[in-house]
Chains A and B, each alone.
Chain A
Amino acid sequence: MQDATRIRVKACQKKDRQAQGEIYTQFSPKMYAVCLRYCKNEDDAKDCLQEAFIIAFDKVGQFKFKGSFEGWLRRITINVCLEKLRKRTFFVVADERIKQEEEEPMDWEEETEGIEFKDLQKLIERMPTAYQTVFNLYLLEDYTHKEIAEKLGISEGTSKSNLSRGKAWLRKEIKNNTTIEFQYRK
């Protein structure tokens, strides 16, 4: 951890308002991006960002400098977003057969070849929330299915099937969009 961040965090532990402002300035853009990724609209993202920083400043005394402060803050932010998601959504699985579907292996490099990250991100943002949440948590934040199940209040089986469905959806979308839009770039 950089010395400047360490000093600011220590000052935050003493409830120093200036240090809190500096920490916010330093990390809020990244955290806001996280919020936008998990929330469906800007209002919810702002609410989550606000709540995440309030919790972080409140609990900063528990941070023991064993990992990165950014990672710790990111976990808090994601948890706040998931909590918000839990409050707002009602997961309904209509057919148990979905659980039994086999996850098809995805050759990521091959299938996303030629697609810019920006476009890929836009596609993922269009992904249905049920898939997108699990997709982001599992692939980008390295959560396990067990952790995802606990956070979202769903079973591990649902988490796995949602990931599988998400990948299938993304593959399908890439294929369609590649033929229409991305083909031009190639």
Chain B
Amino acid sequence: MNESYKKYIQSQEVVPPPEVWTAIESELDKKSKKRFPVGYFAVLSAILLSGGILFGVFYNWEAQPSTDVQPQSTNTSPTSIQNSKASSYDASQNPSTEQHSQNAYRMDEATLGNHQDLIQRKKKVSSANLQRFPNQSTQRDESIEYRNSNKASQQKNPSQNSALKDWVEISTSDKPKPSSAQEFDTTEEKPDYPIEEKPQNSLADADDSATPIDEMPASINKTQVEESLIAEKSLEVEESTLEKEEDLAENEIKIVKKKNNKEKKWEFSTYIAPSYTRSITDKHIWLIDLKEYKGSYENSTNYGMRMSYTISSKWTVRAGLGINNLRQKARDVYITSQTLDEANITQIDTYENIEIINSQDFYYPNINPNNVDLANVSQQIQYFSVPIDFSYQLYDSSLLSLGLNLGTSTHWLRKNSIALDYDNRKFDYGKATNLNELVFGTQLGFQTRFKINSRFSFMLEPEFLYYFNTFKDDSKVRPYTINLSAGLLYKFNF
């Protein structure tokens, strides 16, 4: 090329119209005031807010019913005291669990087993004691009867019974109260008088006749009453202690069970899903411009991950991130080619909703210039999806659980491509212009889990996903996909 011609060309000047600078200034102003992406932040905030509220509500929901765990017995001492008592007991029973029982929230399943054993042992001890000390048992029954009759007597004649009570208290006040060891060790203190006959009848008589204390029947001597009351008190203490300890153990079991349930609230799963795409109203879902051509749907694959949180024994909420692919092909579409002999650049903007974004050099050795040939036009759409589901558990066993999922999903358009399949080659062609960048959908699914072990499950979920606003225009096309997700689920320890 002649250098002088090059200089001539490069020095050429054409003054542009003034509106160009106005437009540039306007664009520069816009750039300097970078617009806050309100739309995206609104959607993101809504998701985070709803997630936060759900988490907060259900977390509190889980935390509040802790009152159910409080002892229901007459013991109203604080939990810490109860725990310390339990701790001392556990330490005597099984020292290895002492540390665990100091803090119920640190107990594990082993501790739970210990406490269940504890209750069983307590019951055995109690029944064994009763078998070993039948007299004590008899005494206990007698004492209860005596106490009941005494109460009846008090109701009839409060002053007399008050006097009797005072007398008994005075007579027993100078004796030391039995220790816990003594309470259990009553065999050596077995009374040597016929408790079965005399005291009961005498006391009953005393109640009925309302005899003054000075005139108490001789059959009831001081020692008899004293021993009876000691035995009664001893049994009451033992009974009370057993009840308290049983309550404590049961409460701790409840706490541990609750904690164990609470521990496994979070689950993580990954999935891959063959996807089957169709439209409710129109056979050709994406390539509306080509709807006169024969269309077919292509199988695609979706994949992603999910986190789920167990709200209650039946309900679970879960959110995820996924990639959804949708593919369709229009077959035997007419294409034209033009030869370089005529030096044409073919502008294929025949279709209203397809923007050509790629230029491509095609070599068609077998096609005649200016001829018409057939090719397939395939379209792929890929969404970045954020689904939020609520799951209801229908059935649960050690091997299998079944449930229903229902939720909504947000989809961001990530890939939008149209390609020509011609002569066993694929050429990127352009993109569809009638698709919304942000699409909302709803999904309904059936959840099947096969439990591999306490942590891992295999997951199989058929799901129906319906897209609300795929297209910008008033298209009647309403696409949906049916996914069959298969994946692995991991249950966290929290």
In the complex, the answer to whether B5 meets A120 with C-beta atoms within 8 Å is yes
In the complex, the answer to whether B359 meets A140 with C-beta atoms within 8 Å is no
Interface status of B40 (Cβ within 8 A of chain A): no
In the complex, the answer to whether B12 meets A58 with C-beta atoms within 8 Å is no
Report the minimal beta-carbon distance from A32 to chain B, rounded to whole angstroms.
Answer: 4
**A 86-113 contacts with B by CB, 8 A:** 86-96, 98-99, 108-109, 112
Report the minimal beta-carbon distance from A106 to chain B, rounded to whole angstroms.
Answer: 9
Task: Count chain A CB atoms within 10 A of each CB in B348, B355, B359 and give the residue with the most.
Answer: B359
The answer to whether residues A46 and B20 also contact, given A94-B369, A108-B2, A112-B5 and a CB cut-off of 8 A, is yes
In the complex, the answer to whether B9 meets A29 with C-beta atoms within 8 Å is no
The answer to whether residues A128 and B344 also contact, given A20-B28, A33-B14, A117-B8 and a CB cut-off of 8 A, is yes
Collect the chain A residues with CB atoms within 8 Å of residue B11's CB.
Answer: 30
Q: Residue B361 contacts which of A24, A46, A53, A93 (CB distance < 8 angstroms)?
A: A93
Interface status of B367 (Cβ within 8 A of chain A): yes
Task: Count chain A CB atoms within 10 A of each CB in B13, B15, B344, B360 and give the residue with the most.
Answer: B360
**A 124-139 contacts with B by CB, 8 A:** 128-131, 139
Collect the chain A residues with CB atoms within 8 Å of residue B358's CB.
Answer: 86, 153
Report the minimal beta-carbon distance from A5 to chain B, rounded to whole angstroms.
Answer: 16
In the complex, the answer to whether B5 meets A117 with C-beta atoms within 8 Å is yes
The answer to whether residues A89 and B5 also contact, given A33-B14, A50-B27, A94-B338 and a CB cut-off of 8 A, is no
In the complex, the answer to whether A140 meets B1 with C-beta atoms within 8 Å is yes
Collect the chain A residues with CB atoms within 8 Å of residue B10's CB.
Answer: 30, 140
In the complex, the answer to whether B360 meets A90 with C-beta atoms within 8 Å is yes
Report the minimal beta-carbon distance from B9 to chain A, rounded to whole angstroms.
Answer: 6
Q: Residue B28 contacts which of A28, A54, A154 (CB distance < 8 angstroms)?
A: A54
Report the minimal beta-carbon distance from A147 to chain B, rounded to whole angstroms.
Answer: 15
Collect the chain B residues with CB atoms within 8 Å of residue A36's CB.
Answer: 14
Write the A32-61 contact mask toward B (1 if CB under 8 angstroms, else 0): 110011000000001001100110011000
The answer to whether residues A94 and B337 also contact, given A54-B24, A121-B9 and a CB cut-off of 8 A, is yes
In chain B, what residue has the closest Cβ to A97? B365
Collect the chain B residues with CB atoms within 8 Å of residue A9's CB.
Answer: none
In the complex, the answer to whether B344 meets A88 with C-beta atoms within 8 Å is no
Majority SS of interface residues in chain A? helix
In chain A, what residue has the closest Cβ to B6? A140
Collect the chain B residues with CB atoms within 8 Å of residue A140's CB.
Answer: 1, 6, 9-10
In the complex, the answer to whether A95 meets B365 with C-beta atoms within 8 Å is yes
In the complex, the answer to whether A161 meets B340 with C-beta atoms within 8 Å is yes
Collect the chain B residues with CB atoms within 8 Å of residue A165's CB.
Answer: 340, 343
In the complex, the answer to whether A153 meets B6 with C-beta atoms within 8 Å is no
Interface status of A155 (Cβ within 8 A of chain B): yes
**A 1-46 contacts with B by CB, 8 A:** 15, 17, 20-21, 24, 28-30, 32-33, 36-37, 46
Interface size class, chain A: 35 or more
Report the minimal beta-carbon distance from A127 to chain B, rounded to whole angstroms.
Answer: 8
Majority SS of interface residues in chain B? loop
In chain A, what residue has the closest Cβ to B343? A128
Task: Count chain A CB atoms within 10 A of each CB in B12, B28, B346, B362 and give the residue with the most.
Answer: B12
In the complex, the answer to whether A15 meets B32 with C-beta atoms within 8 Å is yes
In chain B, what residue has the closest Cβ to A152? B359
In the complex, the answer to whether A130 meets B5 with C-beta atoms within 8 Å is no
Collect the chain B residues with CB atoms within 8 Å of residue A92's CB.
Answer: 337-338, 344-346, 361-362, 364
Interface status of B78 (Cβ within 8 A of chain A): no
Write the B1-42 contact mask toward A (1 if CB under 8 angstroms, else 0): 110011011111111110111011101100110000000000
Collect the chain A residues with CB atoms within 8 Å of residue B20's CB.
Answer: 28, 32, 46, 49-50
Write the B309-351 contact mask toward A (1 if CB under 8 angstroms, else 0): 0000000000000000000000000000111100111111000
**A 65-100 contacts with B by CB, 8 A:** 85-96, 98-99
Report Cα–Cα, A89/B348, bound state, in Å.
7
In the complex, the answer to whether B359 meets A86 with C-beta atoms within 8 Å is yes
Collect the chain B residues with CB atoms within 8 Å of residue A89's CB.
Answer: 345-347, 356, 359
Collect the chain A residues with CB atoms within 8 Å of residue B2's CB.
Answer: 108-109, 112
Task: Count chain B CB atoms within 10 A of each CB in A17, A95, A152 and give the residue with the most.
Answer: A95
In chain A, what residue has the closest Cβ to B349? A88
Task: Count chain B CB atoms within 10 A of each CB in A15, A94, A112, A153 and give the residue with the most.
Answer: A94
Report the minimal beta-carbon distance from A185 to chain B, rounded to whole angstroms.
Answer: 17
In chain B, what residue has the closest Cβ to A95? B339
Interface status of B357 (Cβ within 8 A of chain A): yes
Report the minimal beta-carbon distance from B345 to chain A, rounded to whole angstroms.
Answer: 5
Q: Residue A30 contacts which of B13, B25, B346, B356 (CB distance < 8 angstroms)?
A: B13
Report Cα–Cα, A86/B361, bound state, in Å.
12
In the complex, the answer to whether A24 meets B24 with C-beta atoms within 8 Å is yes
Interface status of A169 (Cβ within 8 A of chain B): yes
Collect the chain A residues with CB atoms within 8 Å of residue B19's CB.
Answer: 46
Report Cα–Cα, A88/B339, bound state, in Å.
18
Report the minimal beta-carbon distance from A3 to chain B, rounded to whole angstroms.
Answer: 21
Collect the chain B residues with CB atoms within 8 Å of residue A87's CB.
Answer: 355-357
Collect the chain B residues with CB atoms within 8 Å of residue A30's CB.
Answer: 10-13
Report Cα–Cα, A53/B27, bound state, in Å.
10
In the complex, the answer to whether A96 meets B356 with C-beta atoms within 8 Å is no
Collect the chain B residues with CB atoms within 8 Å of residue A117's CB.
Answer: 5, 8-9
The answer to whether residues A32 and B15 also contact, given A90-B346, A93-B361 and a CB cut-off of 8 A, is yes
Report Cα–Cα, A88/B344, bound state, in Å.
13
Report Cα–Cα, A76/B1, bound state, in Å.
23
Binding site for B on A (CB under 8 A): 15, 17, 20-21, 24, 28-30, 32-33, 36-37, 46, 49-50, 53-54, 57-58, 85-96, 98-99, 108-109, 112, 117, 120-121, 128-131, 139-140, 152-155, 158, 161-162, 165, 169
Beyond A24-B24, A33-B14, A49-B20, 8 extra complex contacts between A and B, CB < 8 Å:
A46-B17, A46-B20, A54-B24, A54-B27, A91-B360, A129-B345, A130-B344, A152-B359
A-B residue pairs in contact (CB < 8 Å), sample of 5: A58-B31, A92-B361, A94-B338, A94-B367, A152-B359
Which A-B residue pairs are the 7 nearest by beta carbons? A128-B343, A29-B13, A94-B339, A139-B1, A32-B16, A33-B12, A154-B361
Binding site for A on B (CB under 8 A): 1-2, 5-6, 8-17, 19-21, 23-25, 27-28, 31-32, 337-340, 343-348, 355-365, 367, 369
